[in-house]
Amino acid sequence: MEPLTAKSPPWRQRASRVVIYSHDTFGLGHLRRSRAIANAIVEECPETSVVIISGSPVIGNFEFGSGVDYIRIPGVTKLPDGDYRSLNLNVDLDEAVGLREALILQAVKSFRPDVFIVDKEPTGFRGEVVPALEYLERTGCHLVLGIRDVMDEPALLVPEWERKGARDALIRYYDEIWVYGLKDVYEPLAALDLPADVEERITYTGYLRREVPATPSLMRYPKITRQPFILVTTGGGGDGDDLIDWVISAYEAEVGPEMPAVILFGPFVNRDQRRNFMERIARQPKLDAMSFDNKIEHLMEKATAIVAMGGYNTFCEILSFDKRALIVPRTRPRLEQHIRAVEAERLGLVSMLSDYTEPRTPERMAEALRRLATQPRPSEVTVPGMLDGLDRVQERLKALTQSPAYLSASQAAE
C-alpha cells in the first residue's frame, strides 16, 4: 500500500474509486438511495468502481450496475423500545459494532477510495465510521455527507445530533454536504446553526430520479394489475402495519373504493400480521397482495395511483413515474415522513391523509382513495430542478475526481 503522504494523488494514477457507507439498521431506505447513486455514478463514468458498505440483510436481492459491488457487514436490528441488538450474531451490540467498525476501516484501507460518501449519519451507526473518516482524511480522500431532504423535526434533531457528536463531525470531517432535495421544499440542517463556511459546503441536488430497470421483474403480478389499480406500498414493511390495516378497512367499509388495489407487503413485515392481513384480503374481491418485489419500479409504472407512507425513496419514485399519490405518513418515532408529506401537499404534488390530528376511520380512507382517480399528477406542478438529483451528484463527483486533489495535511506540512 502506498504511504499516506504519497506525492502523486490517486486521481492521476488510476480510474476513480468511490465508497458509499450505508448503515441500514432497519428498512430499505438507505440501501435503495445508495444503490441509485452508485448506479448513476457508473452509468456516467463506466471506468469508475463503487463499493457500497451496508448492514442490510437483503442487499444481495438487488441488481447493481457494472462497476458496483458491495460489502455486507454484520447487521443490527431495531427493537420495539427503540434500542438495537445484533441481527444474526450471538454477540452483544458493542461487540457487533466493534466488528462492523473494524471491517469498514479495513475496507477503505484496502480499496483506497478517492471519494467516501456517508449516507445520513455523519458518525455512522454508534460512531462506527469515525475511524475510517480519520484515516481517509489523512489520505486526501474527499469526504461527502449525503442526506435526504427531511431528517426530523428540529426539536428532536438538534439534541440527537449533539448527543451523537454528529454536528461536530459534520464540521470537522466533511468537504461537501449533498442534500438530496430542494431548498425551497425544506432545509433539513437549518436548525443546527452551522458556521458560515460549513453552510457553503452544502449543495441541494434536487430529488433522485428513478428509472424502470432494463430487465423485467420475475414476480407474477395479480390479475388486478391488468386493469387500473392502486398500488399500496410500505417500503420494507417493518413499520407499515397501520397503513395496510387502514387500507383494508376502507375496502371492508359499506361504501368502499371503486378502484381495486394491490398491497405490497415488503420483506420485513411481521409474519403473523401478514397472515392476518391475507385472511382479510382474501375476502375482498377488489384486493390482492404481493410479498416483495426487488424491481418495484415496474409495478409502480403499471399502477394508476400509489398509496404510501412517504419515505424518501418512494417519494422520488412517485415524482419520477408521475403518479397520483396519497401519502399516509408515519408520525412515530419521527415526523420525517409527515414533514415531507405536508410540504409535498403544499406544492400540490400529492395528497395526504394522517391520523396525527384526526382518527383513523374506514370512511376517511375510502373517500381519500376515491379522490385519487381525479387528482392532478405531479407533472402538472412546475418545480425547477425537482428531479435533477442524480445529475448534480454526477457533476459534483466529476468535479471532485477530475480536479487536482488537495494535499493531505502531512504533505502540506512538508
- Structure confidence at residue 6 (pLDDT): 41
Residue 1 has a pLDDT of: 42
pLDDT at res. 270: 81
Residue 412 has pLDDT above 50, yes or no: no
Q: What is the pLDDT of residue 352?
A: 97
Q: What is the pLDDT of residues 295-336, one digit of tens each?
A: 889 999 999 999 999 999 999 999 999 999 999 998 877 889
Distance of CA 301 to the CA centre of its chain: 19
pLDDT of residue 356: 78
Using an 8 Å Cβ cutoff, are 281 and 248 in contact?
Answer: yes
> Bigger pLDDT: 115 or 184?
115
Q: Which residues, other chains included, contact 55 with Cβ-Cβ below 8 Å and sequence gap of 6+? A: 22, 23, 24, 25, 72, 73, 74, 75, 76, 87, 100, 125
Q: Average model confidence (pLDDT) for the chain?
A: 90
Exposure letters 272-293 (e unless 16+ CB within 10 A, then b): eebeebeebbeeeeebbbbebb
pLDDT tens-digit readout, 336-365:
999 999 999 999 999 999 987 788 999 999
pLDDT at 26: 58
Q: Average pLDDT in the 111-132 region? A: 97
Highest averaged pLDDT of the listed ranges 10-24, 67-81, 380-394: 380-394
- Nearest-angstrom CA–CA distance, 314 and 325: 10
Give the residue from 22, 134, 26, 10 showing the smallest Cα distance to 73. Answer: 22
The Cα–Cα gap between 323 and 318 comes to 5
* pLDDT score for 165: 96
pTM of the full structure:
0.88
User: CB–CB of 120/129 below 8 Å?
Assistant: no
Domains of the chain as residue ranges with CATH: 13-209+387-407 (3.40.50.2000), 223-380 (3.40.50.2000)
pLDDT of 394 reads 96
For residue 402, name the pLDDT band (cuts at 50, 70, 90): confident
Neighbours of 88 (CB within 10 A): 11
Do the Cβ atoms of 142 and 400 come closer than 8 Å? yes
3-state secondary structure of 176: strand
List, for residues 74-102, the tens digit of each pLDDT value. 999 877 666 889 999 999 999 999 999 99
HSE-CB at 190 with a 13 A cutoff on CA atoms is: 13
Burial tier of 166 (Cβ tally within 10 Å: 0-12, 13-18, 19+): buried
What pLDDT is attached to residue 70? 96
**What is the predicted pLDDT for the residue at 404?**
56
User: Per-residue pLDDT averaged across 271-291, rounded?
Assistant: 94
Average pLDDT over residues 48-72: 92
Other Cβ atoms closer than 10 A to 258: 11
Rounded CA separation 201/199 (Å):
5
Taking the C-alpha atoms of residue 11 and residue 21, their distance in angstroms, rounded to an integer, is 21
C-alpha grid cell, residue 406: 488537495
Helix extents (H) in 264-387: 271-282, 296-302, 312-320, 336-347, 362-371
Confidence bin at 143 (pLDDT 50/70/90): very high
Cβ pair 268, 24 in contact under 8 A: no
Residue 10 is predicted with a pLDDT of: 46
- Complete DSSP assignment for 121-134: -TT-GGGTTHHHHH
pLDDT tier at 187, thresholds 50, 70, 90: very high
Share of the chain above pLDDT 90, in %: 74
The whole-angstrom separation of Cα 158 and Cα 155 is: 6
As a whole number of Å, the end-to-end CA separation of the chain is: 21
Over residues 206-252, the pLDDT tens digits come to 999 999 988 888 788 999 999 999 999 987 656 789 999 999 999 99
Find the mean pLDDT for residues 175-186.
96
